[in-house]
Chain A
């Protein structure tokens, strides 16, 4: 089945630094990837839709200048948290849809990246 690889799985950084998270579709091409954020004991909240070769579409309330998304190829999307602050500490999860599958909008998730900002 479809596999989405996400890296790093966890990262600790100092306040004010930037962190990049990579999301790769390993055995399929993904024109669209999705970035979610999950705070403890809460559900997944969609941050943005990453579109290959074009600008990402951000959800309401998500700062596009703070959460930079680049989708330069059909298998790679990156999320950069710029000038991270402690309130950005969260579990970031990417997902992608394998368009060659059943036709339903089945998303495959990466393993997630746990960000802790000190």
Chain B
């Protein structure tokens, strides 16, 4: 069974610091990797996606992918209280439109 694993947290980070969120996946056939942010009671919203090894930066967010080690991470620089949310990692497998989600990591930014 294809699995996506995340530490459920909560992860507490001081305002202005770097928040680091990690995700591992079990299937080496995984093709694309997504980070979604979900505020309490709301639906997920896409932060960014990555499908090549290495880093991808978008504003304060950096996604890092290491296919050999089967992990993907999300770094949030200059963390703000508004970044407090649950962050969901999702994986897409080649030839399959479905996304498999991890359980999410709850992040709290402390002012």
Binding site for B on A (CB under 8 A): 6, 32, 34, 42-46, 49, 93, 97, 104-112, 114
Binding site for A on B (CB under 8 A): 32, 34, 41-46, 49, 51, 88, 92, 97-104
Closest to A105 in B: B92
Tell me which of B44, B97, B98, B100 contacts A109 (CB under 8 A).
Answer: B44
Instruction: Assess the A49–B103 pair: CB atoms within 8 A.
Output: no
Helix, strand, loop or mixed for chain A's interface?
A: strand
Tell me which of B42, B99, B104 contacts A107 (CB under 8 A).
Answer: B99
User: Please, could you name 18 A-B residue pairs with CB atoms under 8 Å apart, sorted by A?
Assistant: A6-B43, A34-B97, A43-B88, A43-B101, A43-B102, A44-B101, A46-B98, A46-B99, A97-B97, A104-B49, A105-B32, A105-B97, A106-B46, A107-B99, A108-B46, A109-B44, A111-B43, A112-B42
Tell me which of B43, B92, B100 contacts A93 (CB under 8 A).
Answer: B43
Which residues of chain B are near A45, meaning CB under 8 Å? 101
Closest 4 CB pairs of A and B: A112-B43, A109-B43, A43-B103, A105-B92
Given contacts A43-B88, A43-B102, A104-B49, 8 further A-B contacts (CB under 8 A): A42-B103, A44-B88, A44-B101, A93-B43, A104-B32, A104-B92, A106-B46, A110-B43
